[in-house]
Amino acid sequence: MSHPPTTDPTHRLVPSPAGRIHLVEQGAGPLVLLVHGFPESWYSWRHQMPALASAGYRVAAIDVRGYGRSSRPEAVDAYRMRELVADNVAVVEALGEETAVLVGHDWGANIAATSALVRPDVFRAVGLLSVPYAPRGGPRPSEVFTGMGGEEEFYVSYFQEPGRAEAEIEPDVRGWLAGIYAALSADTMPAPDLPDPHFIARGGTMRDRFPAGRPAWLSERDLDVYAGEFERTGLRGALSRYRNMDRDWEELAEFDGAPITQPSLFIGGGRDASTTWMGDAIKAYPSTLPGLVGSHILEDCGHWIQQERPEEINRLLIDWLGRVGDR
């Protein structure tokens, strides 16, 4: 089977409710929109873009609002889910398409899932990396997170107070990023008998529990790219996503318990806390993801799944996209 030649990646700015969304586009064919998580950027898809383009797809990896060259609105509530869904729809329209396949990692998986729920007319299939789909429901999120950790503080609660995490991160963005990437990578994460970096000792910081060393997938140049973006933009926009979880819970009440019916895919890391903590959500997929085409757990893989194991992720994505087709 022959495919069109792969074009070089092209940077574009397109209009959106945020003001502008920066994206990097490559290839020709059915549109696949890639949505990154925290604390990353479009660059986290650098290994997937040429592979998907070579397989016959038009790939667009965005900077989520608050990141990179995309707009960074001032208001915290500008980062709620409904706004991020609207950005994704605007990107599809700006690229001259009516529908797209959506693939997200980490927070991007939640954004992708919500986009599929809210706009099934636009997003015809959804791939979720690292963070399983769990329908809206249960207690208010802040109440759940406050109850986690006992005497320690769960990182999501730590992130929710404006300015607090920024004060830890922004004096040494590069060092903090290197630490969180290492903390959640299979080859550098702390041993199970050491304190968990997802939790913060009272009066402490996340950085206190970050391991030394750099994961194999992260080159010095890669770290330079990520650090350069956040040194320029700061972390407020990125962290504002965490500061809208209760607001999302209120605004998305109509989707309480709702399944995602489009064709779907899940890929998780066997050593990723997002996968292990949410094991019940994965078990519930027959009812919550009735269109599930494939669910995969990559053994001895951490959280940064498409960067830790790019060839496997590329193979699974291309196989799934081929099975989804144009339906």
State the pLDDT at residue 42.
98
Whether pLDDT at 6 is above 60: no
- What are the CA-CA distances from residue 133 to residues 49, 95, 102, 206, 292 (Å)? 24, 27, 14, 26, 11
Q: Estimate the crossing angle of helix 220-233 against helix 173-183, to 10 degrees.
A: 120
State the pLDDT at residue 197.
94
11 is known as an active-site residue: no
Could you report the per-residue pLDDT of 246-276, keeping only the tens digit for each?
999 999 999 999 999 999 999 999 999 999 9
User: How far is the C-alpha of 53 from the C-alpha of 55, rounded, in Å?
Assistant: 5
Instruction: Count Cβ atoms below 10 Å from residue 58 Cβ, excluding itself.
Output: 20
Could you report the per-residue pLDDT of 223-245, keeping only the tens digit for each?
999 999 999 999 999 999 999 99
Residue partners of 94: CB distance under 8 A and separation at least 6:
14, 15, 16, 21
Q: Residue type for 298, please?
A: L
> 């995602």: which residue's tokens?
260
User: How far is the C-alpha of 248 from the C-alpha of 259, rounded, in Å?
Assistant: 17
Taken in order of first residue, the domains within the chain and their CATH numbers are: 10-324 (3.40.50.1820)
Residue partners of 217: CB distance under 8 A and separation at least 6:
185, 304, 307, 308, 310
Whether pLDDT at 3 is above 80: no
Share of the chain above pLDDT 90, in %: 92
106 is known as an active-site residue: yes
Strand partners, 200: 153
Mean pLDDT of 29-58: 98
User: How far is the C-alpha of 317 from the C-alpha of 294, rounded, in Å?
Assistant: 10
Q: If DSSP states are collapsed to H, E and C, what string results for the chain?
A: CCCCCCCCCEEEEEEECCEEEEEEEECCCCEEEEECCCCCCHHHHCCHHHHHHHCCCEEEEECCCCCCCCCCCCCHHHHCHHHHHHHHHHHHHHCCCCCEEEEEECHHHHHHHHHHHHCCCCEEEEEEECCCCCCCCCCCHHHHHHCCCCCCEEHHHHHHCCCHHHHHHHHHHHHHHHHHHHHCCCCCCCCCCCCCCCEECCCCCHHHHCCCCCCCCCCHHHHHHHHHHHHHHCCHHHHCCHHHHHHHHHHCHHHCCCCCCCCEEEEEECCCHHHHHCHHHHHCHHHHCCCEEEEEEECCCCCCHHHHCHHHHHHHHHHHHHHHCCC
Angle at alpha carbon of residue 26, lines to 73 and 34, rounded to 5°: 50
Whether pLDDT at 1 is above 60: no
Whether pLDDT at 39 is above 90: yes
Could you report the per-residue pLDDT of 192-213, keeping only the tens digit for each?
999 999 999 988 999 999 999 9
Residue 154, token pair as written in the block: 């769960």
Mean pLDDT of 66-75: 97
Mean pLDDT of 168-190: 97
pTM above 0.85, yes or no: yes
Contact (Cβ atoms closer than 8 angstroms) between residue 113 and residue 131: no
Residue tagged active-site, from 22, 36, 105, 303: 303
Mean pLDDT of 174-196: 96
Task: Pick the closest to residue 123 from 276, 268, 291 (CA basis).
Answer: 291
User: How far is the C-alpha of 61 from the C-alpha of 87, rounded, in Å?
Assistant: 13
State the pLDDT at residue 54.
97
Could you report the per-residue pLDDT of 71-112, keeping only the tens digit for each?
999 999 999 999 999 999 999 999 999 999 999 999 999 999
Could you report the per-residue pLDDT of 263-321, keeping only the tens digit for each?
999 999 999 999 999 999 999 999 999 999 999 999 999 999 999 999 999 999 999 99
Q: What mean pLDDT, rounded, does the chain reach?
A: 95
Share of the chain above pLDDT 70, in %: 98
Whether pLDDT at 149 is above 90: no
Residue tagged active-site, from 22, 36, 87, 106: 106
